[in-house]
Amino acid sequence: MISQLLRFGCVGTAAAAVHLGVVIFLVSLGMPPWAANVFGFAVAFQVTYLGHRTWTFKATGNRSDYGRMLFVSLGSFAINEGLYMVLLKATDLDYRVALALVLITVAIFTYTASRLWVFTPAS
């Protein structure tokens, strides 16, 4: 389980870096941070799914895991966007710091749901 947690952390870190990079890029073009976060999520989801399917959980052959992962990710994103909006409105944190805090927090939920439901051993 320790090696799985480490792999999850690596994939999550890569996805978070992609997510944050997309947000920073789009904000630099004038998009509001909350809107850029939607695009960051969409790109990072692909990294997350492929990384967790092939490396973290080494799932094989079950097409329904994409739908389950999308469901978990959308739930995670709803939490992400809600917390992000609260931090942006209620604190003086820089948008990048606020997003990094949110991404770390939501990762706990995502790991648990992925391990117990999305990529079950029967997958």
Residue 93 scores a pLDDT above 50: yes
* Torsion angle, alpha carbons of 77, 13, 97, 75, to 10: 10
Residue 61 domain boundaries: 2-118
Answer yes or no: is 123 within a domain: no
Compute the average pLDDT of residues 24-33.
Answer: 96
Q: Between 65 and 84, name the one with better pLDDT.
A: 84
Residue 122 scores a pLDDT above 60: no
Token pair of 102 as six digits: 């949110």
Compute the average pLDDT of residues 72-85.
Answer: 89
Q: Report the predicted TM-score, pTM, of the whole model to 2 decimal places.
A: 0.73
Answer yes or no: is 73 within a domain: yes
Compute the average pLDDT of residues 2-21.
Answer: 91
Residue 99 scores a pLDDT above 90: no
The confidence score (pLDDT) of residue 119 equals 83
Give the residue from 112, 85, 87 showing the smallest Cα distance to 97.
87
Answer yes or no: is 33 within a domain: yes
Name the percent of the chain lying above pLDDT 70: 94
Q: Between 62 and 68, name the one with better pLDDT.
A: 68
For residues 77 and 95, the answer to whether their CB atoms sit within 8 Å is: no
In the chain, the number of structural domains is 1
